[in-house]
Amino acid sequence: MIAQQVALFDERPTEIALVRERGDVVYFPRFLDRSLGFALSAELCAETTWRADSRMMYGKRVLVPRETASRGDGANQPWTPRLLAVKDLVQRRAGVRFDYVFINRYRTGNDSVAWHNDDDAEADPRRHIASLTLGATRTFDLRPRSTSGLRPRKISVDVEHGDLIIMRGETQLFWQHRIAKDVRVHEERINLTFRQR
């Protein structure tokens, strides 16, 4: 019985390269145990103080179409024991230490995030960002930035509950990503982006 448990823990999830040119993005489907993912999602929804931000667009203040929060070292909201355990799993897979997690709460398919690159990695493109999905399946899109010199194209993957994407290297300098609106989705998605300071 113990040997079987060890074998399960030693199994390496499938690694799929999404980007190798002027960036490094890898996808690990079914990275996190489903039940652990559901327990973490329920805990975060119940115990996290969420923020609804707004920004100026075309001269009007509009709500950002999702809720956000941060947890981690030195944050107003600390790590929970379960979140720390998941962070440890993600760190082992990524091979780096993460200081905090930025959390996006997509309440339905009407919530989204437009094309962007993560600014906190631009100053040091060696920083890793590990993105873990909990809950509803959503499409994660990547495309080269217009200044990248790369052939224009879009890479899309439907990320499911427990899936992990790691972005590293020069990804934030040459690529953008998004979660587009999808009116067919009625369930909630929690996205944890583990980050380095």
120 to each of 100, 123, 127, 161, 191, how far by Cα in Å?
Answer: 12, 7, 9, 26, 17
Question: What are the structure tokens assigned to 70, written together?
Answer: 């941060």
Question: Which of 146, 142, 122, 147 has its CA nearest to residue 131?
Answer: 142
Backbone phi and psi for residue 97, each to the nearest 5 degrees, phi listed first: -95, 135
Per residue in 134-160, pLDDT tens?
Answer: 999 999 999 999 988 999 999 999 999
Backbone phi and psi for residue 90, each to the nearest 5 degrees, phi listed first: -65, -40
Strand order through the sheet with 155-159: 113-116, 175-179, 138-144, 155-159
Question: How far is it, in rounded angstroms, from Cα 87 to Cα 192?
Answer: 10
Instruction: Give me the CATH topology for the region 13-195.
Output: Jelly Rolls (2.60.120)
Backbone phi and psi for residue 87, each to the nearest 5 degrees, phi listed first: -55, -40
Question: How far is it, in rounded angstroms, from Cα 17 to Cα 77?
Answer: 33
Question: What are the structure tokens assigned to 163, written together?
Answer: 């899936």
Q: Could you tell me the residue ranges of all domains in the chain?
A: 13-195
Res 53: pLDDT:
83
Question: Which of 48, 36, 151 has its CA nearest to residue 87?
Answer: 36
Whether residue 144 contacts residue 19, with contact meaning beta carbons closer than 8 Å, is answered with no
Low-confidence ranges of the chain (pLDDT < 70): 1-13, 57, 120-123, 125
Whether residue 181 contacts residue 136, with contact meaning beta carbons closer than 8 Å, is answered with no
